[in-house]
A and B are shown apart, each in its own frame.
With several copies, the nearest count.
Chain A
Amino acid sequence: MVVSANIPLGSSHFLLKFTHKEKLPEMLPGQFVQVRVDNAPGVFLRRPISVNFVDKQRNELWLLVQKVGEGTRKMSEYKTGDVVNMLLPLGNSFTMPQSTQSRLLLVGGGVGIAPLLYMGSLLKQQGCNPMFLLGARSADGLMQIDDFKQFGDVFITTEDGSAGEKGFVTQHSILQQHIDKIYTCGPTPMMQAVARFAQNNAIECEASLENKMACGFGACLCCVTQTQSGHKCVCSEGPVFNTKELSWQI
């Protein structure tokens, strides 16, 4: 894959766009890629990053990345034209709703909004009207809002109240309305709070998990999460799980 753009978003995030000389394989919303980060002595394993968006016309893949350690910092230095080795697409995907009439809420926190953009685009394309509820520490941490707006209504919370409603996503007033299904991705405590809300209100809920991975394709059994039917691999049996399946103490 060849870097076609690297766009800084605030101080700690960036958007990478890649093109490929061959046609990109079909990618499903919720799937991820395993990036090999070269020339970074502290980085031994690949780094899993969600598919943020696929532009089929341009044969383009987007990754939205937060700088947290040496691997993602190295990725933030990628320049247009750099060639990056990645395995893709990996993992399962969010499931499409039964009906286009379903009231769907996509709840993202921090960089966890990444897979929701692609999911939202496909929902919109299939005739749904998804709503997005996006949370961040402060206004500075909100990203891709204009992109999300192309596919549905966007609701916002920030912990400091600098944009949208003040508080956590689970405190947003939109949750008062009727919802049929929630798709969520973000920090685990946030997803657990969302799952609890969904459970209490008998709403279907799918969450995309971010466990630590070695292989990314089901071979090492490092990335497991505890489920009702025992340990499951987040990389190959996930990353998307129906929250009812998970053994979360919520």
Chain B
Amino acid sequence: MADLKIRIGELEFKNPVTTASGTFGFGEEYTDFMDLNRIGGIFTKGTTIRHREGNAYPRMAETPSGMLNAVGLQNKGVDYFISSIYPRIKDYDTNIMVNVSGSTIEDYVATAEKVNELDKIPAIELNISCPNVKQGGMTFGVSCAGAAEVVRAVRKAYSKTLIVKLSPNVTDIVSIAQAVEDEGADSVSLINTLLGMAIDAETRKPYLSTITGGLSGPCVKPVALRMVWQVAKTVKIPVIGLGGIMNAADAIEFFLAGATAIQIGTANFIDPAISVKVVEGINEYLDRHGYSSIYDIIGALEA
């Protein structure tokens, strides 16, 4: 039984397996299938300052070894989270981290401030891939300046562990990670979804109401691994890796590439108990290879 404990900033995780925002609801959806207390943490559905209806249906299309989604951050707003959801989930024995989204800096800051008050939420994940309404819809996350600006503002307002989630739809994810590190982020998580599109040849229509959407699942794993490896080589803060992890072997690949923790996203839809199985699989791998700690394989790629 190897030591699976890891730290991200000030925060300790009983193991490095967490679940990705938007794929795990608020955890409650999974209690029929698994014991939430057995995983390292849960990233909640993206939460915004106000209620959002999200995009029109259809919001999903299956693609080769993956899926596109266009949920569009449907959520009831941070106040509803605080009043109605937080009380139900706060006592799980796992780290519950709120994924904070917004379209303006003020929204991000206001949401982060509210979450900062919640005793049992030790960290937020800043999703900087949402469109920046003020700057004409480009997302904050695709330029160093945009990413730095939003992180700087939130860092001032939020005192606990701040994780910034990076968009892969960029020329140079490393410099964005560095910009975010420079502004005081405690960790970066990557990748968010790749922007993609699907068309029904027979009806000549896009499958999504929004035409384009976010690609996730095993198809994106090679891109995610590459970005995690590039970023982990460069920044000093811990990297949380995700993108297409379907089993323990995939997770190990991310650790070798330099991730300190991983998130499981789309895989939860296919096997709602997968995250617990991945914890077990990592443990088995470490034992089999004679490692005593997960840290023995973090960044241990022989390249």
Does A218 make an interface contact (CB < 8 A)? Answer: yes
Whether B53 pairs with A220 at a CB distance below 8 angstroms is no
Chain B positions within 8 Å of A41 at CB level? 65
Interchain CB contact (< 8 A) of A219 among B60, B65, B269: B269
Does A202 make an interface contact (CB < 8 A)? Answer: no
Chain A positions within 8 Å of B60 at CB level? 212-214, 220, 222-223
Majority SS at the chain B contact face: loop
Does A211 make an interface contact (CB < 8 A)? Answer: yes
Q: Chain A, 37-71, contact with B by CB distance < 8 Å: what is the 0/1 string?
A: 00001111110000000000000000000000000
Whether A220 pairs with B69 at a CB distance below 8 angstroms is yes
Does A155 make an interface contact (CB < 8 A)? Answer: no
Given A220-B22, A221-B74, CB of A215 within 8 Å of CB of B64: no
Chain B positions within 8 Å of A36 at CB level? 270
- A215 vs B22: C-alpha distance when bound (angstroms): 11
Whether B74 pairs with A231 at a CB distance below 8 angstroms is yes
Expressed in whole angstroms, the minimum distance between the Cβ of B224 and any Cβ of chain A is 17
Given A212-B58, A212-B60, A231-B54, CB of A221 within 8 Å of CB of B45: yes
- Interface size for B (C-beta < 8 A) is 32
**Interface residues in A189-218 (C-beta closer than 8 Å to B):** 211-218
Whether B269 pairs with A214 at a CB distance below 8 angstroms is yes
Given A214-B269, A215-B268, CB of A224 within 8 Å of CB of B59: yes
Chain A positions within 8 Å of B29 at CB level? 215, 217-219, 236
- A98 vs B66: C-alpha distance when bound (angstroms): 45
Chain B positions within 8 Å of A224 at CB level? 54, 57, 59, 74
- A61 vs B53: C-alpha distance when bound (angstroms): 37
Does A230 make an interface contact (CB < 8 A)? Answer: yes
- Interface size for A (C-beta < 8 A) is 27
Does B217 make an interface contact (CB < 8 A)? Answer: yes
Whether A222 pairs with B53 at a CB distance below 8 angstroms is no
**Interface residues in A3-58 (C-beta closer than 8 Å to B):** 36, 41-46
Given A44-B66, A45-B270, A214-B69, CB of A219 within 8 Å of CB of B24: yes
Chain A positions within 8 Å of B57 at CB level? 211, 223-226, 231
Expressed in whole angstroms, the minimum distance between the Cβ of A62 and any Cβ of chain B is 23
- A225 vs B57: C-alpha distance when bound (angstroms): 7
Whether A46 pairs with B269 at a CB distance below 8 angstroms is yes
Interchain CB contact (< 8 A) of A221 among B32, B54, B58, B62: B54
Given A46-B269, A215-B268, A231-B53, CB of A220 within 8 Å of CB of B62: no
Q: Chain A, 158-179, contact with B by CB distance < 8 Å: what is the 0/1 string?
A: 0000000000000000000000
**Interface residues in A225-248 (C-beta closer than 8 Å to B):** 225-226, 230-231, 236
Does B92 make an interface contact (CB < 8 A)? Answer: no
Given A211-B57, A212-B58, A231-B53, CB of A222 within 8 Å of CB of B69: yes
The 8 closest A-B pairs by CB, nearest first: A222-B60, A215-B269, A219-B29, A219-B25, A218-B29, A222-B59, A221-B71, A214-B269
* 24 examples of A-B residue contacts, CB within 8 angstroms: A41-B65, A44-B63, A44-B66, A45-B62, A45-B269, A87-B272, A211-B57, A212-B60, A214-B69, A214-B266, A215-B268, A215-B269, A217-B32, A218-B25, A219-B23, A219-B30, A220-B23, A221-B45, A221-B71, A222-B71, A224-B74, A230-B53, A231-B54, A236-B29
List 11 extra interface pairs beyond A220-B22, A222-B71, CB under 8 A: A44-B65, A46-B269, A212-B58, A214-B69, A218-B29, A219-B30, A219-B268, A221-B71, A222-B69, A224-B54, A226-B56
